Structure 1
Amino acid sequence: MKLYFSPLACSLSARIALYEAGADASFIEVDAKTKRTEDGADYRATHPLGLVPALEIEGGEVVTENAAILQLIADRSPQAELAPREPLGRARLQQWLSFIGTELHKALYVPLLDKAAPAEVKAYALAKADARLGWVAERLAAREFLLDRFSVADAYLFAVLNWSSVTPVDLKRWPALPAYHARLQERPAVARAFAEERERYLRELGRHAKAAPAGAGPAPVTDDRRA
């Protein structure tokens, strides 16, 4: 398998899942600004929208959309038990993947991460935090994971909650959330994935700073999948 990713984007969750599964995979970094891979190739030849993650499997098949990729990784490594097998359990997993993707990733964090979004849009998005994050915190107040054990939904939620540090979202308002995030970061696969991508993200920032015209301020961060 070959995972196309941008450092600290939602694709971090797929890297976590691959490490948790002990899967044989290679990783191709995509510059979130230029949409070029490390060897200079145009990533849009792989995914025309230029979005990460994308997972290339045998035969050159490419799967996109984070929720689909996470479930495929889980299903290809059933011994890791990253996704329930029985129908209700799988429905619960899909419930969480859908909620994280739509209500947190896109509805809450995307506008807050987009420096081009108007202040009114950011305020509207931030107003959604109480209900949505409060509901997640209530779920996690008395349990270790979203489901009965660590799953790919936890990997996705970890990646999304990371973005709170560069937005007005203050997780300390819901103590169960920073506690959950800290617990996950103690897992070897999570710690490894986060450390690797943080290093790469800092290098990417350095590249962009060097490429900026003299006297120009930092380029606006408008990629809605990263912090």
Structure 2
Amino acid sequence: MKLYYSPGACSLSPHIALLEAGLPYELVRVDVRAKKLENGDDFLQVNPKGQVPALRLDSGELVTEGPVIVQMIADKAAGTNLAPAPGSAERYKLLEWLNFITTELHKNFSPMFAPVPSDDTKAFFKDRLMGKFKYIDSQLAGRDYLLGSQFTVADGYLFTMLTWADRMKFDLSGLPNLTAYKARVAARPKVQEALTKEGLLKAA
């Protein structure tokens, strides 16, 4: 498999999932602004959406959209318990979290990375995001991970959003469950490996 990624982008989520799953893969770096691969090829010829992540399967099929990609990875490595069994009540809880993260966190971050919105507009989205983070903090009370004691692909996605919060200088110190959770996920060896491979963390 080939994972098309950009360092620190939302493609960090499936990168973490691939490492946690122990599946073989190749990393292909993308300049998302220029829509170019490292070798100069046109990324739009790979993914007409022009976005990462994109996962090229060994069959040649291309899968896009992060929440779908991470579930596919989890299902290919069912023994790792990165996602509950399809059709189970817990699987729908995972879907609920993946949808919440992609619509309520991911999409609200997007305007903050754009050069056009005013400072007032960005402050509006920051306040909105803080409200979402407060909700997640309340849901993490007494839990190691979003679904309880088991790390899942939703945790890799949420962790990616928390790295964006760091980049945007969010003050999450008043959310003790969330800050403890972030440290817990960050300490996972495969998460450290993904960060290192993307150049976001210096190798020890």
TM-score when normalising by structure 1: 0.84
SS of alignment partner, residue 72 of structure 1: helix
SS at match of 2:146: coil
CA shift at 1:168, angstroms? 4.2
The answer on 1:76 being equivalent to 2:53 is no
Residues 19-74 of structure 1, C-alpha deviations (whole Å, 9 max, x = no match): 00100111100012211111111111011121000001132100000000000000
Verify the 8 A CA contact 1:129 1:169 in the aligned structure 2: no
More deviation, 170-179/152-161: 170-179
Bigger mean CA offset, 111-120 vs 95-104:
111-120
Deviates more, 1:116-125 or 1:155-164: 116-125
- Aligned letter for 1:166? R
Amino acid at match of 2:141: A
Structure 2 residues not aligned, in runs of 5+:
none
- The 1:172–1:198 alpha-carbon spacing in structure 2 relative to 1, beyond 3 Å, is farther
User: Separation in 1 of the partners of 2:118 and 2:49?
Assistant: 24
State the one-letter code of the partner of 1:117: P
- Tell me the equivalent position of 1:183: 184
Which stretch has the larger CA shift, 178-187 or 110-119?
110-119
Alpha-carbon RMSD across the aligned residues, in angstroms, is 1.4
**Residue 95 (structure 2) aligns with:** 94
Larger mean CA deviation between 21-30 and 126-135 belongs to: 126-135
Q: In 1, distance between residues paired with 2:113 and 2:179?
A: 20
TM-score by length of 2: 0.93
Q: Secondary structure at the match of 2:31?
A: coil
Which residue of structure 2 aligns with residue 210 of structure 1? none
How far is the alpha carbon of 1:121 from its aligned partner? 1.9
* Counterpart residue identity of residue 4, structure 2: Y
* 2:100 alignment partner AA: F
Q: In the alignment, which residue of structure 2 is the partner of 1:103?
A: 104
- Offset of residue 195 of structure 1: 1.8
**How many equivalent residue pairs?**
199
* Alignment correspondent of 2:123: 123
Distance 1:199 1:104, change over 3 A: closer
Structure-1 residue corresponding to 2:58: 58
Deviations 1:126-163 (A, max 9, x none): 22134211110011121100013100000000111101
Question: Based on CA coordinates, which of the two structures has the bigger radius of gyration?
Answer: 1
